[in-house]
């Protein structure tokens, strides 16, 4: 079955890719399967300089999900381009670089750095990390700020830009429209929802950062609702994510309005999550009378 | 390529308060496992896998014996497994204790605290195959939690310490250090406060420590279980560790 999807900068052999932050730079999962099987890989966030992240504990399990507050730990954009991108480029898959920052200048710096490699196919602009104290999230919660950073990154980059939206807003469609107006080539949604878990023996937050981003199956209905809402109001493609664990989940995201999907937390439970979904996708599509992935996308316009 | 393993449960036994010993059959993993490595077990209905330490392997039988404490829903559910059922496991994960630099005829101090005792036992068994004199200090909360004392006594001069003094020496593992005599190096696994006390007390002795931390992926990708190092960098407990040189990391 034809699982291909064509998006700005991305000719995907299938619509499945690991989500940023849940797959590192692919090295660990390449010991489980051939990464060429993936539609694309979204790399862990890159910042201008190396970041060591937050104190531990950084994760906590919740009902049907988990909280994390890693704090954008990464070796810095230059080392990512020097060490990680060339290794990933050996695989027959598209590479999406996640661009993070705490100031407009930092976003632009990181964006420009990725112009220097020919192996990155698109950028995912991370304006929605809830786990860094300074900057970051305000770009993702104020439509004017989001517009500003999107326009600046678009101007600085020679690559298509997918803006990753935060669900921690009152009106996500308004955010989507703002970044579309600013020139975004696509959206990626949703990032994690801010949450907290207390440690009963101490009555204090279990995660050192106090709050963390909630991910996993628990947030899937929120992601579906938000993608469905946004799809009515913007026309640029959406990479959907939020609790996808099975091929049925992936189909539901496509039906709701996504054009491709990313798998995050499920990789931790099952390191083969992405390839298991890819393998199950054809029979799942057949079961619901679709002839291809593109068929799901084409036919939803009648429903959505 | 690495894979997931379906491991058959052979036995499940409560060997001390809230402490479960589970014997699993998986010859391939049994052959590969070295002391200090762990299994990452999937418990259906829970998002994250549980990192569980290995207490024994029997390569002949093809078995791996794991030990865990029932602390929450996941481990409670795991404790309810019956012989014949299978567990989905990744592993063996982590680096394990290197014993190549333990000299023949040397004297080694082993320090285990609570659920950190099982990997120390696995290590003790391996070391007992070498010409090495073993001294073990095992710390537990109280008498009800004590396990593996007899097994250790077969291969090591063994001291048991309980925090409340209900069994053996009273206090912390470090309190018996003055009694154990000289040793060439030490190996330790247990809760962070214990490891801090041990490494501080033995700061002039070569030692290795095995750490525990809340993990996400368990394979080195998610950066949840990191630890700062003395050279101003970091290590990932799940994949660079869980065993580190005591001089290398900042606890």
Q: How long, in residues, is chain B?
A: 251
Is B237 part of any domain? Answer: no
Question: Do B136 and B82 lie in a common domain?
Answer: no
Per-residue pLDDT, B87: 98
Residues 6+ apart with CB under 8 A from A258: A227, A238, A239, A240
Residues B80 and B122 in one domain: no
Q: Is the pLDDT of residue B229 over 80?
A: yes
Of B58, B93, B128, the position where a domain reaches its end is B93
CATH of the domain at B41: 2.40.30.10
User: A70–B224: do the CB atoms touch at under 8 Å?
Assistant: yes
Helices (H) and strands (E) in chain B, counts: 5, 15
Average pLDDT (A225-230) is 97
pLDDT value for A49: 96
The pLDDT of residue A135 is 58
| Contact status of A32 with chain B (Cβ, < 8 Å) | yes
Q: Is A257 labelled as part of a ligand binding site?
A: no
Query: What was the pLDDT predicted at A128?
Result: 79
pLDDT tens figures, B121-180: 999 999 999 999 999 999 999 999 999 999 999 999 999 999 999 999 999 999 999 999
Instruction: Tell whether B144 is covered by a domain.
Output: yes
The answer to whether the CB of A67 falls within 8 A of the CB of A207 is yes
Q: Tell me: do B117 and B46 sit in the same domain.
A: no
Q: What are the chain A neighbours of B224 within 8 Å (beta carbons)?
A: 56-59, 68, 70
Q: Residue B149 is part of a domain; what is its CATH number?
A: 3.40.50.80
Tell me the chain A residues in contact with residue B87 when contact means C-beta distances shorter than 8 Å: none
Beta pairing, strands B107-113 & B133-140: parallel
- B111 & B201 share domain: yes
A129 is catalytic: yes
As a whole-number percent, the residues of chain A with pLDDT over 70 amount to: 96
**Whether residue B207 sits in one domain with residue B125:** yes
| CB count in 10 Å sphere of residue B154 | 10
pLDDT > 70? residue A133: no
| B24 three-class SS | strand
Query: What is the arithmetic mean of pLDDT over B28-34?
Result: 96
- Evaluate whether A84 touches B236 at the Cβ level (below 8 Å): no
Q: Residue B99: inside a domain, yes or no?
A: no
B40, B69, B93 — which closes off a domain?
Answer: B93
The answer to whether residues B84 and B147 belong to one domain is no
Instruction: Give me the domain span that covers residue B173.
Output: 107-212
Please compute the mean of the pLDDT values over residues A116-143 and round it to a whole number. 83
Number of structural domains, chain B? 2
Structure tokens at B63: 């078995």
**Chain A environment of B225 (Cβ under 8 Å):** 56, 58
> Is B132 inside any structural domain?
yes
Residue B101 confidence (pLDDT) = 87
Same domain, B130 and B171: yes
Residues B120 and B144 in one domain: yes
A53 shares contact with chain B (CB less than 8 Å): yes
- Considering the domain architecture, whether residues B115 and B68 belong to the same structural domain is answered as no
Structural domain contains residue B225: no
Residue B50 lies in a domain: yes
- The domain boundary, picked from B64, B93, B122, lies at B93
Closest-CA residue to A18 (of A264, A234, A276): A264
Q: Which of B1, B49, B222 sits opposite A31 (nearest CB)?
A: B1
A29, A66, A269 member nearest B42 (Cβ) = A269
Are residues B111 and B74 located together in one domain of the fold? no
Question: Which segments of B are annotated as binding site?
Answer: 50-53, 74-75, 217, 222, 225, 238
pLDDT at A303 over 90: no
Q: Quick one: pLDDT band at residue A138, thresholds 50, 70, 90? A: confident
Estimate to the nearest angstrom the gap between the alpha carbon of A125 and the chain centroid.
9
Residues in Cβ contact with A108 at an 8 Å cutoff, skipping those fewer than 6 apart:
A152, A153, A156
Instruction: Look over chain A and give the mean of its residue pLDDT values, rounded to a whole number.
Output: 95
Task: Give bridge partners of residue B11 from the DSSP assignment.
Answer: B23
Q: Which two tokens stand for residue B143?
A: 């008498």
- Whether residue B244 lies inside any domain: the answer is no
Name the residue among A52, A68, A270 with its Cβ closest to that of B216: A68
ipTM over 0.95: no
- Whether B60 and B82 map to the same domain: the answer is yes
pTM, full prediction: 0.95
Give the Cα-Cα-Cα angle A50, A53, A58 (nearest 5 degrees). 155
Domain co-membership, B71 together with B149: no
pLDDT for position B7: 97
| Tokens (6 digits) for B78 | 């795991």
The contacts found for A150-154 with CB under 8 angstroms, 24 or more apart, are A150/A125, A150/A178, A150/A179, A150/A182, A150/A183, A150/A184, A151/A182, A151/A183, A152/A104, A152/A107, A152/A108, A153/A99, A153/A107, A153/A108, A153/A111, A153/A123, A153/A125, A154/A182, A154/A183, A154/A184
Q: Tell whether A69 is in a known binding site.
A: yes
Q: What percent of chain B has pLDDT over 90?
A: 96
User: Does residue A304 carry a pLDDT above 80?
Assistant: no
Secondary structure class of A55 (helix, strand, coil): coil
pLDDT tens digits, residue range A203-227? 999 999 999 999 999 999 999 999 9
Does a cis peptide bond (omega within 30 degrees of 0) precede residue A57? Answer: yes
* Averaged pLDDT for residues B76-84: 97
Which chain B residues touch A44 with a CB distance below 8 Å?
Answer: 223
- CB proximity A52 to B under 8 Å: yes
Q: Which of B39, B215, B217 to mutate to test the interface with A (most CBs of A within 10 A)?
A: B217
Q: Is the pLDDT of residue A302 over 60?
A: no
Name the catalytic one among A43, A67, A129, A250.
A129
Structural domains present in chain A = 5-53+71-194+215-300 (3.20.20.70)
What token pair was written down for B128? 């007992």
Mean pLDDT over residues B77-87, rounded? 97
Look at residue B233 and tell me if it is in a domain: no
């Amino acid at each position: 079955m034809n699982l291909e999807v064509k998006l700005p900068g991305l000719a995907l052999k299938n619509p499945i890719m690991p989500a940023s932050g849940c797959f590192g730079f692919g090295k660990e999962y390449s010991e489980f399967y051939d990464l060429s099987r993936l539609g694309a890989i979204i790399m862990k966030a890159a910042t201008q300089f190396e970041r060591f992240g937050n104190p531990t504990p950084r994760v906590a399990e919740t009902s049907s999900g988990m909280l994390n507050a890693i704090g954008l730990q990464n070796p810095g954009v230059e080392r990512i381009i020097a060490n990680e991108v060339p290794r990933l480029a050996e695989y027959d898959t598209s590479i999406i670089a996640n661009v993070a920052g705490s100031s407009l200048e930092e976003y632009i710096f990181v964006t420009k750095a990725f112009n220097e490699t020919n192996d990155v196919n698109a950028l995912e602009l991370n304006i929605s990390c809830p786990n860094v104290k300074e900057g970051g999230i305000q770009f993702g919660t104020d439509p004017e700020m989001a517009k500003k950073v999107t326009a600046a990154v678009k101007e600085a980059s020679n690559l298509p830009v997918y803006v990753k939206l935060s669900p921690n807003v009152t009106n996500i469609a308004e955010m989507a429209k703002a970044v579309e107006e600013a020139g975004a080539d696509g959206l990626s949604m949703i990032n994690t929802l801010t949450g907290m878990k207390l440690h009963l023996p101490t009555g204090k937050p279990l995660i050192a950062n106090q709050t963390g981003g909630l991910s996993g199956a628990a947030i899937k209905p929120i992601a579906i609702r938000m993608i469905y809402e946004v799809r009515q109001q913007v026309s640029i493609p959406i990479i959907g994510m939020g609790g996808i664990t099975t091929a049925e989940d992936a189909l539901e995201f496509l039906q709701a309005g996504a054009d491709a999907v990313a798998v995050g937390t499920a990789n931790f439970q099952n390191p083969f999550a992405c390839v298991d979904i890819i393998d199950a996708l054809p029979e799942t599509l057949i079961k619901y009378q679709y002839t291809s992935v593109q068929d799901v996308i084409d036919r939803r316009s009648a429903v959505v | 390529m690495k894979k997931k393993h379906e491991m058959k449960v052979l036995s499940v036994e409560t060997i001390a308060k809230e402490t479960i010993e589970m014997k699993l059959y998986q010859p391939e993993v049994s052959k590969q496992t070295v002391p200090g490595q762990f299994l990452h077990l999937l418990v259906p209905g829970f998002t994250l896998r549980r990192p569980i330490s290995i207490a024994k392997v029997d390569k002949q039988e093809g078995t791996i014996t794991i030990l865990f404490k029932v602390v929450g829903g996941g481990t409670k559910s795991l404790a309810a497994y019956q012989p014949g059922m299978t567990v989905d496991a990744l592993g063996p994960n982590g680096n394990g204790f290197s014993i190549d630099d333990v000299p023949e005829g040397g004297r080694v101090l082993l320090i285990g605290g609570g659920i950190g005792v099982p990997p120390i036992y696995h290590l003790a068994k391996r070391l007992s195959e070498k010409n090495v004199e073993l001294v073990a200090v095992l710390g537990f909360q109280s008498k009800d939690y004590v396990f593996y004392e007899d097994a250790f006594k077969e291969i090591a001069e063994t001291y048991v310490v309980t925090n409340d003094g209900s069994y053996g020496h009273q206090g912390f593992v470090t309190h018996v250090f003055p009694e154990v005599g000289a040793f060439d190096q030490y190996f330790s696994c247990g809760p962070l406060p214990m490891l801090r006390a041990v490494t501080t007390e033995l700061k002039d002795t070569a030692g290795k420590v095995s750490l525990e931390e809340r993990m996400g992926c368990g394979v080195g990708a998610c950066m949840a279980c990191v630890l700062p190092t003395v050279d101003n960098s970091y290590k990932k407990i799940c994949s660079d560790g869980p065993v580190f040189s005591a001089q290398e990391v900042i606890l």
